[in-house]
Amino acid sequence: METRDMLWSGWGDPARATPLPEPTVALLRDLLGVRPAGAAPVALRDVGVPANRLSQDDLDALAATVGAAHVRTGAESRVRHTRGRSTSDLLRIRTGETSDAPDAVVLPATHDEVLALLRTCTARRIAVVPYGGGTSVVGALTPRGASLRGVGSGGFIALDLRRMNALVALDETSRTAVLEPGLRGPAVEALLAGRGYTLGHFPQSFEWASVGGFAAARSSGQASAGYGRFDDMVVGLTVATPEGTLDLGRAPKSGAGPDLRQLVLGSEGAFGVITSVTVRVHPVPEARAYEGWRFVSFDRGAAALRGLAQDGPLPAVLRLSDEAETMAGLADPEAIGSSADAGCLAVLGFEGTAAEVAGRRAAVAETLAGAGGEPLGSGPGDRWEHGRFDAPYLRDALLDAGAFVETLETATFWSDVPRLYEAVRCALIGALAGAGTPPLVMCHISHVYPSGASLYFTVVSAQGTDPVEHWAKAKHAACDAIIEAAGTISHHHGVGTDHRDWYGQEIGPLGGAVLRAVKDRLDPAGILNPGVLVPGE
């Protein structure tokens, strides 16, 4: 299966660019003062890259490990592997700013080739950024110069895992599959569907993100209520590190020592390169059904979701938009102007046998009706399902239209959800209004647990004169608010370089020191993703 390249300056497949719904354009203009953008993005052929910091000898050594055909130094490869897909990343790459480009893109095909690459890069002190789908929104693909500890030249490679894209094994008795890290979401589902199975992991980045990235960034998908987070799905991992191989997971669960799988999950390439992942799989469900519900307020809706999370039954998909997001129609654009735009929209999805879906829908409906919910039928659910991976395309359209848009997310325990919600909203509105670009701040609960939930914020404003700088300040304020309000700095986007300082506050200096000790043991030369994840590097 060929792995396609994403649009270099935005999201996904250029042919699938989604125009803004007219009500959204009107809202942006009237509410936020959004004005058409100025200069169009530059063309790829006009984008240059910095001089290569690797020597010919370095490049020859890399070629000796993977073959010369799999070491790419051309401008297009380097540009395509520059940074990730945060809005600030996009705004910078659209202007042709490629200062964070890797010096080479290296494509190993096996675990042993990855091991050899890491040995070579350790010996030559070349930094290595493991690269899956390139969809990071937290700066996890931009090693920090000041942090290139002991990496003499400042050069780094993108270690692109796309050639490692096999379904290695399927154990139908244990219902597990061994996946290589370069497989992207649709390829995983296609390979498993051919055998009658599904993984059930559908993050918004599903169409482009990779298995290795899901594991390294502790991803969580839209059907997490039914299938769990990606870290719940993983039962085994193989990791190539500069010091050798970690092979983890002899049983679903074990009482033998700490769960080292959970130390690798979320390690964001700072400890090693994940070269295979063993995951739980499920028979392809016979039936799927989506539906919408309305609640008079976000608090009432959240209480209803909490009831489902704590006492069941749970749908596979469960999300609740706040009043602002419901009004803006992000979850259900066609409902704008209808009666369904009042209050807060919840979207539910059910999967299983036809009888399971029917039974569960009925039980959930009873709970939600008892909690004050009003059923809206399948329309809002089907529309959400149809557009579930389109939001990143919408962002490109907004940027084209002169708006700024970005997202951030957090999680906490249920009793702290209202405080965290208010704290983040106030921080974002205060910072951006103060900068002259008053925003629309929208939120939804995207993942629920018995003891808490995640909050996913979308911020839209005019771009103003310097949107990157405006956002940096607003994001800083939001991160401070999250830590102050006892939230986690990220529920599923990860730490990267963007969240690292707040992550250090979250786990404390001793927690950071533990991560440092692990990194120093596995990557003594500090070549792996320097500046990412580990606080205080």
Q: Which of residues 453-472 bind a second copy (CB under 8 A)?
A: 454
Distance CA 410, CA 222 (A): 15
In the list 122, 210, 220, 326, the residue contacting a second copy (rule: CB under 8 A) is 220
> Do the Cβ atoms of 345 and 373 come closer than 8 Å?
no
Strand partners, 352: 287
Edge-first strand order for the sheet with 71-72 is 71-72, 104-106, 156-160, 127-131
Distance CA 97, CA 120 (A): 29
Q: Which range, of 73-81, 166-174, 317-325, 364-372, touches a second copy by CB under 8 A?
A: 166-174
Interface with a second copy includes 446 (CB under 8 A)? Answer: no
Judged by CB under 8 A, the number of residues near a second copy is: 81
Interface with a second copy includes 266 (CB under 8 A)? Answer: yes
> Smaller CB distance to a second copy: residue 298 or 404?
298
In the list 158, 235, 305, 428, the residue contacting a second copy (rule: CB under 8 A) is 235
Interface with a second copy includes 503 (CB under 8 A)? Answer: yes
Contact letters (x/-) for a second copy, 141-160, by CB under 8 A? --------------------
Q: Which range, of 83-91, 190-198, 471-479, 501-509, touches a second copy by CB under 8 A?
A: 501-509
Minimum distance of a second copy from residue 219's CB (angstroms):
7
> Smaller CB distance to a second copy: residue 144 or 516?
516
Interface with a second copy includes 378 (CB under 8 A)? Answer: no
Interface with a second copy includes 234 (CB under 8 A)? Answer: no
Minimum distance of a second copy from residue 173's CB (angstroms):
4
Write the DSSP string, 293-357. EEESSHHHHHHHHHHHHHHSPPPSEEEEE-HHHHHHTSS-GGGTTSGGGSSEEEEEEEEESHHHH
Minimum distance of a second copy from residue 261's CB (angstroms):
8
> Do the Cβ atoms of 435 and 474 come closer than 8 Å?
yes
- Token pair, residue 69, equals 């055909």
DSSP 31: I
CA angle at 396 for the pair 392 and 399, rounded to the nearest 5°: 130
Minimum distance of a second copy from residue 196's CB (angstroms):
14
Residues 402-431 within binding reach of a second copy (CB under 8 A): 410-416
First to last CA, the chain: 39
CB atoms within 10 A of CB 188: 25
Interface with a second copy includes 520 (CB under 8 A)? Answer: yes
Interface with a second copy includes 176 (CB under 8 A)? Answer: yes
Minimum distance of a second copy from residue 146's CB (angstroms):
21
Minimum distance of a second copy from residue 334's CB (angstroms):
31
Minimum distance of a second copy from residue 16's CB (angstroms):
26
Interface with a second copy includes 358 (CB under 8 A)? Answer: no
Instruction: Write phi, then psi, for 469 (nearest 5 degrees).
Output: -70, -45
Interface with a second copy includes 375 (CB under 8 A)? Answer: no
Interface with a second copy includes 499 (CB under 8 A)? Answer: yes
Interface with a second copy includes 109 (CB under 8 A)? Answer: no
Q: How many helices (H) and strands (E) does the chain have?
A: 18, 19
In the list 244, 377, 434, 536, the residue contacting a second copy (rule: CB under 8 A) is 244
In the list 44, 260, 342, 472, the residue contacting a second copy (rule: CB under 8 A) is 260
Distance CA 21, CA 44 (A): 28
Strands 403-413 and 234-241: unpaired
> Smaller CB distance to a second copy: residue 155 or 213?
213
> Smaller CB distance to a second copy: residue 184 or 280?
280
Minimum distance of a second copy from residue 450's CB (angstroms):
6
> Smaller CB distance to a second copy: residue 403 or 495?
495
Write the DSSP string, 404-455. EEEEEEEEEEGGGHHHHHHHHHHHHHHHHHHTT-PPEEEEEE--EETTEEEE
Instruction: Write phi, then psi, for 350 (nearest 5 degrees).
Output: -120, 145
> Do the Cβ atoms of 375 and 330 come closer than 8 Å?
no
Interface with a second copy includes 114 (CB under 8 A)? Answer: no
